[in-house]
Amino acid sequence: MFDMLEKYPNKKIILTNADDEQMVKFGLTNMPYEIFTLKHNPEKTDTKYYERMLEYFGLKKNNVVYFEHSRDAVKSAESAGITTYHYDSDKKDLENLKKFLDENL
């Protein structure tokens, strides 16, 4: 996935809800992209999470695309007006993810 994402010049941000302990547990302390977390306040299933993320980075919802493994979080991001793709982390379908990115960037 990293190699595919690196072909796009766009800014990349990893969204998580991990708290400080979970950041270490899940290996999120040395990632290739900036990490954004609200530490479960609110959860990614809450539209406010995405509104706060947009505000934090000074982004407009129509200039953001997002892919997410949780169907509930996908619905929440879509409710915030963000073009979103459900990425099934079990299937690891990079071909369809690339198609989504190509069509929406």
Return d(Cα 20, Cα 104) in angstroms, integer.
33
At residue 3, the pLDDT reads 96
Q: Write out the residue range of the structural domain in which residue 18 sits.
A: 2-104
Q: Please give the average per-residue pLDDT across 5-19, as a whole number.
A: 97
CB atoms under 10 Å from CB of 102, counted, come to 9
The model's confidence at residue 47, banded by pLDDT at 50, 70 and 90, is very high
Q: What is the pLDDT of residues 48-100, one digit of tens each?
A: 999 999 999 999 999 999 999 999 999 999 999 999 999 998 999 999 999 99
Quick check: pTM over 0.75? yes
Q: What is the number of domains present in the chain?
A: 1
CATH of residue 53's domain is 3.40.50.1000
Sort 53 into a burial class: Cβ within 10 Å, 0-12 / 13-18 / 19+: buried
